[in-house]
Structure 1
Amino acid sequence: MSDNDQSSDDPKPFGSVDQELADQLAVYRDVREKIQHLTASVASQDRTVTVTVGSGGAVQDIKLQQQALRLGPEQLARTLITVIRKATAEVNQEMAALVQPIAPPGVDVMGMVDAHLPNVEVEDPELYLRKRGIRW
């Protein structure tokens, strides 16, 4: 048996690759866990309507102040839609900020999210996470 044959049976060279893959998998699992628990709450300008949205855009809660009920059906509907869109955009922005660091080089996750947000400014991902106390 030659030296080359012995070295191909030696698992040591693959140990660092295995560890790197295990580390990456742990990071991906952590990000997935954080994404599953993301929420964003947004209030209307007059603070009469507050909506909480989870990841995936699922509305989790709607709070209406008594004054909101006096807006009339059309204005209340418009306000609800506006606040839901803003909350959805915010949770999507937060999700993108979590995913950006693990995305392949050259993939602009924030840019992709920005292209689909309804007139909501997208902040720098690091600044966005810092402002919300999320550590990466």
Structure 2
Amino acid sequence: DVPGISVGCLVLDAVLQSDLSCFYNESCLSELKFQLTDSPSPFNATPLKVSSSAASLPTIGGLIANLMVEEWYFNSSYESYFDQCNPQACTYTYVKQFDIVYVITKIIAFIGGAATILMLITLPIVTNIQQWLSARRSPAH
């Protein structure tokens, strides 16, 4: 039984509920060294020093929670940036490479659009031409 190390059904839950108190205790570290003597990488550690702010050791889960950003304050000011940086000029370049897939897609879209437009206007044009021709052929009354 290692002090500060919790045991649970899930390894992650056990680790998050554990604290680092064993690493502040010389006898606990000696026990860990003894348990890990068969380890391929040697375990060489000295006990940590307890600071006044770490009188009560938080859990590993608490330490991880304190590492995360709770709220992000973002304040961008381009005027302040340009006042500090003071650039002579501000330019940018945009490099666009030839993209064959884009060209093929545009050609197919153009052909599809042209075919749709031709289908919509061809029937009325042909109907009007046929009516005009039949009116010319038929004798006037």
TM over 0.5, shorter chain? no
TM-score bin, normalised by smaller chain = under 0.3
More helix by share: 1
More strand by share: 1
TM-score normalised to structure 1 length: 0.22
TM-score normalised to structure 2 length: 0.22
